Amino acid sequence: MSSTTITVDDLTFRYPGSDEPVLRTANVEIGSGEFTAIIGGNGSGKTTLCKAFNGLVPHFFDGTFEGTVRVGDTVTTESDVSTLSRTVGYVFQDFENQLVQPIVRDDVEFAAKNHGLEDYEARATDALEAVGLGDAADRFIWELSGGQQHLVALAGVLAMDPEFVVVDEPAAQLDPHNARETYEQLRELQQDTDVGVIVIEHHTEFIGDYCDRLVMVADGDVAWTEPVDAGLNRVEALVDADIHPPQVTQIARQLPEGDGTLPDGRYPVTVEQAVDAFPAAASEERRPVKVDGHGFGECLISVDDVTHGYPTLREGRTTVLDSFSVTLYSGNRVALVGANGAGKSTLLRLLTGLESPDHGTVTVLGNDTNETLPEELAEETVYIHQNPEEMFVEETVREDVAYYLENRDDPDVDRRVADVIDFLNMEDIADRDGRLLSVGQQRRASLAIGLATDPTVVLLDEPTGSLDLQSRREVTRMLSRSVTRTETVVVATHDLQLVAEWADRVVVLGPDGVLADETPQSVFEQPELLARAHLRPPQVVELSDRLGIDPPSLTTSQIVDRLTTQGGR
């Protein structure tokens, strides 16, 4: 197979209006026929580097451009974006905005038609087949799930028969299940067709499982390029860039010398490798699993025999929750988990009173939501939207935090706002427009808006969605702290690492109602239950299972303790 190479020579680029260049004499070579991951901290210039491959830099963003970028024999400065895009396809991080036609097929054909390619229909059909969306060709884009939309964006790129596909942070906007599906697709594509796949990625666990080569971008330069196994072993360099190595690699590092390494002296980077490297653990005496959630404290929320659904365009009314009942007590830290469409968000919205159940009753702090306006329920309950942007209605974060208090004529607005901002440690962003912050900062601001109302019940929808690991850690820490200020926190999430570290009660929703309502410990002991709910346990749980550690460890420090005591037996 002939292969093409992207060659970057001494590339320096400065965005107009900025003093510092984002890229400084960067050099790298990426061949097609490989699965390459580009990694780097926030603002390290990795996205800019990738946008230089298809000419968006410098043709679209005109700044100061020095050095050369060549795709095969073509020098990007001598070509243009639409021509280069036929060789280097790009799937953006917010891929929804990349889809510009109402119907799937039209969007996939769009580029081919623009270039006047007569076989556009065949191209679209093949591309849709390749990503497994053959059946969805005539559907409306907005009817599709996020994961499917991502695949449509990918198909749109594949329809041009590119030699490279650049995918910008697929795991950031997709839930873990869909992100894994996307990676499976990308790997298959790369192996079957010899297309070079380049992903920008924070999640080292995906990199370990799927990629061949790792390119580290730091401070506007390509710091190093390594095969993935070796690259993920440069733990210090990763941590310096705010990137967490895979859990198994972290565990290996914390184990006593020689205990956690592979025969060649390296740390394992996938669960598979870890199973070979780590010492086997004998079973520990089982502690009884404590029954959870019931009889703890006062009953705050009861959902009683609720059936609720939505009308749809073509399939009539779909029922999301069917005869669903649950009771939440004070002091609970509840995680709602389950596949997309299982009703997590619907349940949260029912608790806010914004929607009334079709049948059954929802009682929040003694108020029947059917009889109470959402405004009144919001006195004690706060709902933090999945997409923080929907919570910013004022011009600065500070005004947004104050908004509720001012509307309720609180006598002490300034002090309470200052208090919350101080509590969440966000003095630095308080006077900026919420919409212009990074996603991690937005998430913190949305939590501040919620906490300022001094709620008894906090409802959070996907608080760790699309966060890099640094922001994720901060949000988790904030969640733990916010519990001290509230009675009950309910989190709808896909993030099982969050569940393992934070929750004390897990409600698993499946297509037919509640699959389980137990402690995290006992949920993680049932791999088949997780699989049914489209959930994937954190690496540490999977590793415990494979190593026969029973009950499974939920955090890296737990498993390190277990393995070291085993080691010292």
Partner 1 sequence: MGYLDALRNITITDIKLDLMRTAYDNDDALLNTFDPRVVILWSAIFVVVPWFFYEPEPLFVMLVASLLLAYLSQTSIYLLTLLIWGSVSNIGFIVVLSSAVYWWQGGSGGLQGAVVDNSVALLPFTMKLTVISVVSLAAFSAMSPKKLAKGMLSLGVPRPFTFAIAYGYRMMPVLLEEYHDLVNSLRLRNRAPENRGLLRWRYYRYLLKLSVKAFYPMTFNVAKRSRVTVEAMETKGFSHSLGDEDSRELRLGDLELLPRDVTFMLVSLLFVLVVAVFL
**Please, what is the minimum distance in Å from the beta carbon of residue 335 to partner 1?**
22
- Residue 483's Cβ-side half-sphere holds a number of Cα atoms within 13 Å equal to 17
Residue 427 Cβ vs partner 1, minimum distance, rounded to whole Å:
22
Element (H, E) at 107: helix 104-114
Closer of 284 and 390 to partner 1 (Cβ): 390
- 8 Å CB contact between 381 and 365: yes
Q: Residue 63 or residue 374: which is nearer to partner 1 going by CB? A: 374
- Binding string, 448-467, against partner 1, x = CB under 8 A? -x---x--------------
Nearer CB in complex with partner 1: 182/453: 453
Decide: is 145 part of the binding site for partner 1 (CB under 8 A).
no
Q: Which two tokens stand for residue 50?
A: 């990738």
Q: In whole angstroms, what is the distance from residue 149 CA to residue 104 CA? A: 9
Cα angle: 200, vertex 202, 205; to 5 degrees: 110
Q: Across-strand partners of 64?
A: 14
106 binds partner 1 (CB under 8 A): yes
**Could you say whether residue 299 binds partner 1 (CB under 8 A)?**
no
Nearest approach, Cβ of 354 to partner 1 (angstroms)? 5
Reported as half-sphere exposure (CB side, CA atoms, 13 A), residue 174 has a value of 27
Instruction: Of 249, 179, 200, give the one whose Cα is nearest residue 40.
Output: 200
- Tell me the closest approach of the beta carbon of residue 371 to partner 1, in angstroms: 14
Nearest to 539 by CA among 174, 40, 204: 204
Choose, by CB under 8 A, the member of 178, 352, 456, 488 that binds partner 1.
Answer: 352
Is position 359 an interface residue for partner 1 (rule: CB under 8 A)?
no
120: contact with partner 1 by CB under 8 A: yes
Does residue 447 contact residue 461 with C-beta atoms inside 8 Å? no
Three-class secondary structure of residue 311 per DSSP? strand
* Shortest Å, Cβ 522 to partner 1: 34
| φ/ψ of residue 254, rounded to 5 | -85, -10
For partner 1, what does the binding mask look like between residues 405 and 444, x meaning CB under 8 A?
A: --xx--------------------------x---------
Cα 166 to Cα 32, 123, 405: the distances in Å are 11, 19, 46
* DSSP structure class, residue 60: I
Token representation of residue 423: 């509590």
Kindly state whether residue 561 participates in binding partner 1, applying the rule CB under 8 A.
Answer: no
Query: From the CB of 534, what's the least distance to partner 1, in Å?
Result: 23
Q: Which of the ranges 68-76, 288-296, 362-370, 391-399 carries the binding residues for partner 1, by CB under 8 A?
A: 391-399
Query: What spatial distance separates the first Cα and last Cα of the chain, rounded to whole Å?
Result: 54
Catalog residues that contact partner 1 under the rule CB under 8 A. 54, 56, 59-60, 80-83, 85-86, 89-90, 92, 94, 96-103, 106, 110-111, 113-118, 120, 140-142, 156, 310-314, 352, 354, 373-376, 378, 382-383, 385, 387, 389-393, 403-404, 407-408, 435, 449, 453
